[in-house]
Chains A and B, each alone.
Chain A
Amino acid sequence: MATATATTVSPYNEVRSDLWRPLSGASPRYLAILAGLAAIVLWGAFAWSYQLLHGIGVAGIRRPVFWGFYLIDFVFWIGISHAGTLISAILRLTDAGWRKPVTRAAEAITVFALMIGGMFPIIHLGRAWLFYWLFPYPNSRLLWPNFRSPLVWDVTAISTYLTGSAIYLFLPLIPDVAQLAKHATGWRRFVYRKLSLGWTGSDREWNALEHAMKLMACIILAVAVSVHTVVAWDFSMSVAPMWHSTIFGPYFVVGAIFSGIAALLIAMAIIRRAMHLEKYLTPHHFNNLSKLLLLMSLLWLYFTVSENLTAWYGNEPKEMNVFGAQLRGSFAPYFWAMVFCNFVVPFILLGIKKLRTIKTAIIASITVLIGMWLERFLIIIPTLSFGRLSSTWGNYAPSWVEISITVATFAAMIALYLIFAKLFPIIAVWEFEQE
């Protein structure tokens, strides 16, 4: 079957100039958007400084809900980070031809989402300035961190993942920056040359790069799956009702890929419009990814049903307190909104072929992001609200500090992405030359 990618249509020089065009100059609109985002990020930084100065009590968390928005955001962003690795690594390993214009956009999401997600466990600490005590090296009294603690696994997993995905983003960037270094001037030339690591394009180098990318794709797949499993274990290793679940590992991985694909679809649509890359990011790509999103939606539903049906059938009193609050109690509006966002919308918009367009894919992606954020909210808050002793039940409402920081991270994500797309071609140029 003939693919609808641009490669077959345009000669390489034209492709290159198309993809390099967004790099030069910055329109007033671009700068205005960036300034707006920077203002939001600064507001978030102010909120965090305020929290550091006055104590974490300025956030809304309380006994018994000791974990709130920060941990929800943490799981959410780590989930988003699964866009890049999973999509890109799977497609690279299976040699899917249509992946070429998609992979770098995806890999960049991974790195930035991880940088943001990795901040949250630190923001959430009571004494954030001591976060490095969790790193696996002994303190002055030769006391190591507690390797039995899922939080230490977390630190290890996420730093491994961040390192790995940064390398995975960087490797396919090398031939591109080498080409750019030849054509750029001024500080850009300097930066690109440094980043190209002396790439000359010899056969030996291509061979090594090819090998390295294949190897990293394999490694990063394993790391990605394990990272979100470890994030799930932060909850399922505890004895709290509805957290102590065997299904959480795979459930979280599926949810992460699900929200990751949604984030990728949104990013692609913005890139396509803002950079006029309609020729490269075609309806074909959106169609393929929409089908993948639909598949993940169904998988997510399967896991959600498995999780809740077994809990309900088991009818364990402590679990039923949480279950009841979720399905028909105070958390029910959020629960059913989640089901609507994560299943009903994608199933209708993407499941019916006639309705499946770029526009509906974006609508479904946005509801999926909302739904997946709600899912993390529903995993964390009800369990903590309804503990084992009814005398300690209590609820939670976020303060302006948590809300500000949460909003700021979304702005930070978009800003980082905009800056990245201005410095590097968001679609790998050299991959079109290779044909």
Chain B
Amino acid sequence: MNEAAHRWGMAIDIDRCTGCQACVTACHAENNIPLSDPESAAKGRAVHWIRVDRYYEGEFPDIKVKHMPVLCQHCEDAPCEPVCPVYATYQNPEGLNVQVYNRCVGTRYCANNCPYSVRFFNWFDPAWPQPLNLQHNPDVSIRVGGVMEKCTFCIQRISRVELDAKTENRPVADGEVQPACVQSCPAEAVVFGDLNDPESKVSRMAGSGRAQRLLEEVGAKPKVFYLQKAT
């Protein structure tokens, strides 16, 4: 199988999102993300690889709220990549913007240069309260203090599906890879798949008239598409 056969991408239907935060919780459990107490969260030290931004429209009491899950946009021309002095972040052949924890020395330049502010820093060595320290996902490495981390599109799940498909000598089916946020979304607002396959659900959603990308003006070419009714 050609390594670059896939170009993973995501589509998020904002009109469907209820802001329930299930994706945030699932992401924490899947990716061994440290928890933060209220004090450190107030200090700006909380880590959420996916967050739900809220946008309010109208004047009180006539308010409409829009929820927008924001995660690493896995940009094609990612501003975080060229500025890293040690290649700790780079674009892998399948279009994922990956973070190599062992290479990272913690200059935090990537985080400053990320227009979406989706990169997080390990200010300390991570710790989990009992009994959460017993439920780590064995497929995901735990990050030491001093390195950056961010959404990986659940690369461990992608690898597993690709391996399964390879051993069974068949192509990866559309919808077979389900990152934790996709799997947990009760409204099915989040869709993941191969942008190289024009028939995949994510490709069809990305091509819809409702689709747009966040901060298009930066020119980073994100691979996350947001769908909402044009207003």
Interface residues of A (CB under 8 A from B): 54-57, 61-67, 121, 124-127, 130-131, 133-134, 143, 145-146, 148-152, 155, 234, 237-240, 384, 387-389, 391-392, 394
A126's partner among B45, B103, B106, B113 (CB-CB below 8 A) is B106
Contact A389–B44 (Cβ < 8 Å): no
When distances are taken between beta carbons in the complex, the residues of chain B under 8 Å from A125 are 105-107, 146
25 pairs, A vs B, C-beta closer than 8 Å:
A56-B123, A57-B123, A62-B44, A62-B45, A63-B121, A66-B108, A66-B121, A67-B108, A121-B107, A126-B147, A126-B148, A127-B104, A127-B106, A127-B145, A127-B147, A133-B86, A133-B103, A146-B86, A146-B87, A151-B107, A239-B220, A388-B218, A389-B215, A391-B51, A391-B70
Contact B43–A133 (Cβ < 8 Å): no
Min CB gap A430→B, angstroms: 43
B128 located at the interface, meaning its Cβ lies under 8 Å from any Cβ of chain A in the complex:
no
When distances are taken between beta carbons in the complex, the residues of chain B under 8 Å from A62 are 43-45, 123
Q: Roughly how many angstroms separate A77 CA and B147 CA in the complex, as a whole number?
A: 26
Question: Interface on chain A toward B: helix, strand, loop, or mixed SS?
Answer: loop
Contact B108–A126 (Cβ < 8 Å): yes
Flag B10-50 by CB within 8 Å of A: 1 or 0 each: 00000000000000000000000000000000011100000
B44's partner among A63, A67, A127 (CB-CB below 8 A) is A63
Min CB gap A234→B, angstroms: 8
Known interface pairs A55-B125, A130-B105; A387-B84 also in contact (CB < 8 Å): no
Contact A126–B145 (Cβ < 8 Å): yes
Min CB gap B211→A, angstroms: 19
A63's partner among B104, B111, B218 (CB-CB below 8 A) is B111
Interface residues of B in 55-89 (CB under 8 A from A): 70, 79, 82-87
When distances are taken between beta carbons in the complex, the residues of chain B under 8 Å from A148 are 82-83
Q: Roughly how many angstroms separate A143 CA and B100 CA in the complex, as a whole number?
A: 13
Which residue of A is nearest B215, CB measured?
A388
Q: How large is the interface on B (under 10, 10 to 19, 20 to 34, 35 or more residues)?
A: 35 or more
When distances are taken between beta carbons in the complex, the residues of chain B under 8 Å from A57 are 45, 123-124, 145
A127's partner among B115, B146, B218 (CB-CB below 8 A) is B146
Known interface pairs A56-B106, A146-B82; A391-B115 also in contact (CB < 8 Å): no
Contact B70–A151 (Cβ < 8 Å): no
Which residue of B is nearest A395, CB measured?
B44
Min CB gap B105→A, angstroms: 5
Which residue of A is nearest B115, CB measured?
A388
Flag B195-218 by CB within 8 Å of A: 1 or 0 each: 000000000000000000001001
Contact A387–B53 (Cβ < 8 Å): no
Known interface pairs A64-B117, A126-B104; A391-B53 also in contact (CB < 8 Å): yes
B83's partner among A63, A145, A149, A392 (CB-CB below 8 A) is A149
Q: A148-B83, A389-B53 are in contact. List 5 more A-B contacts (CB 8 A).
A: A126-B121, A133-B86, A133-B103, A239-B115, A389-B115
